[in-house]
Chains A and B, each alone.
Chain A
Amino acid sequence: MSIYLDKNSKVFVQGITGAEGSYHTGRMLAYGTNVVGGVTPGKGGQKTEHGLPVFNTVEECVAATGATHQCIFVPPAGAADALFEAYEAGIRFSVCITEGVPVHDMLRVVGTTPGMRIIGPNCPGLISPGKSSVGIMPGHIFKEGNVGLISRSGTLTYEVVDGLTRAGLGQSTCVGIGGDPIIGTTFVDCLREFKNDSQTQAIVICGEIGGSDEEDAAAFVKEHLAGMPIVAFIGGRNAPPGKSLGHAGAIISGAFGTPQSKIAAFVAAGVPVADRPSQIPAMLAERMAAVV
């Protein structure tokens, strides 16, 4: 099955005539993604270089194409507007690639669009290998299979996927959730989907220092995914400590997002944490073999 995305998902690209939007639309089409059109205000009625229809508004695009999945390549100042426009047009799934979206824009978006699944912002998107890719991930390193992967980073995700694919471990869906303070979809949201996905038989969680998403993920695994083979990785154990101003954020979360607290949480949930990305495939294979 895979999560969030399959070969029938009808994708439209917001900002399809821009340099990034146009380039990655071509790559998505080449991968087999069902891209049905795009939106660039003022260019409605034109065709893209790929022969796709361009619309002035999301509403027109959805009415004409039946699109269900939005992929955003607009500049940061317009990202929240693009999300609101899609929400009003009935879209309930969006991938926001844009980097540098103001935190307050995302606070407003996530607080006022109930029922909308937003991946990102500042993320590489997601891919269900062999079926569909929405975003900017390099399709050729992926392979269809039964490992679900969730990651906060872009290139580190590719590093891990490359290792899995070379080890013969294909993937069901890989989601790059993005590294911003306020993101639409967390590890736990994805874990909940993987739990109900028949294709997904194992999971890799690629976390990073900072925040408490990893601790939340570990708690969810402990309660709901006890039998599932899972391996985690925490990037940045030797990362530069940020100079913080005040400690209000740390006090709310009750933890400081240190690698130690994240590793301890995963270990307590029975999830081994790899010291390096290259160890992940073997660790995962061992746990998958133990289940069968």
Chain B
Amino acid sequence: MATLSKLAGQDGEQMTQQEPDRPVASKSRNREWFGSRAALFAGFGTLLILMATVSIDSLYTLQAFEIHNTQIRQEFVYREHTLEQVRTGVYESGDIISDYAVIESDPQSHERLRDEFQSIRNETTASLKACIESLPADKREPLQRLADELERYWLKGGRLLALLAKENKGLGHSALRSDVLSQYAEVLAITREVRAVNDNELKETDWRIAETFARFRRRLLVLGMIGFSFGLILATTTIVYAGRLEKSLQEKYRESLQAQRELKELSKRLVDAEEGERRAISRELHDEVGQSLSALLIEVGNLTEVCGEEAALRQGLQRIKTLAENCVNEVRNMALLLRPSMLDDLGLVAALDWQGRETSKRTSMLVETVDENVSESLPEEYKTCVYRIVQEALNNCSKHAYAKNVRVVVRQEAKYLRVSIEDDGKGFDTSRVRGLGLVGMNERVSQFGGVLKVESDPARGTRLRVDLPLPSAPADLEN
């Protein structure tokens, strides 16, 4: 975990190093890391690894216990079995010695009994030897002692048998006999001793297993606690992280909303400013330059009246007159292009009529304008908005739609000013085409909370509809 956090810490440093312009205090960087995604990944990774380790460790430990336990029990049973065999062998050999001494007397029987004694001896010695060899060196001692005593017993027994074969009823053997008997008892005593040791060992093993299990339980508990605590910390961190994400998201959302509002406001001001500028320049051109040129024309006319018949002078004045007339026309056209004076002098309907006529003159389209119930005292910005939209729409009709007929309808209702511009041009796919013109119109309309709809069909031309909600106070009452 320490390595992990160190690694992750380095990561965090690298991340901040990538943005060297942003000064970050190390404390806040630490805090930042605490709730960062990298930290969460590291945390969850560690938790999973911990859980996996604990599971594997437990499984492994349990399996090891089982194997160990089985092995110990098998060994115990094996030793028990060997001991039993030793005891049986000793009993049987005791019987043989008794039989040999008491019952049987013919050499053949003696021979058979000696063979039997020998085979028991071999068998028992082999079993015991195998058993001793299966044991680790430090546990061989009691069994080794048994084996030594047993060997002594076999030697003594063998000697007794040999002696009995020679002089069956002799007195010399009685001492040996008692010696063998005591050895016999000794071996049996040792077998009991060994058995007790064996039993003890088993008990001890059981106790050790129990103790190991207890240790294992404790370890499991500790690991579980660590895992739980770690999980708790992780959960807290996650909640903190999620909370911070949510907060920053909300912040971002609010910022973006604010930016959107500001952008809208800015665009409205831009449109207003543009319109204002246009109007000012148009007025300036029309009223100042245009009027001065008109006055100039009149003065030239006056001069012509009084200059008499001198041809050169008259021709000069005529040229000045022509120049000034051209100038007047230029200025008037420029002014109208910027903003038609009709819009301010005569109102929306007249301006739209004029625009329709001018478009008809310039292009091959026939523009028909229809007005229904349109008040001349509409607020200024509404007039401008509708005028500019119609201007743009007519522009589109002639440029892109190749229309022959356009019908512009402006209708004023109680709450809405509705405008529709229909052409019989080639139309377009509204889902795919979205020119800058339409975007601009939409922008204008949305400033008034209005709606712009475009219905177009490649076969049937285009219909543009604009619904502008009117200010709640009736416009007529404002004046």
A is bound by B: no
Binding site for B on A (CB under 8 A): none
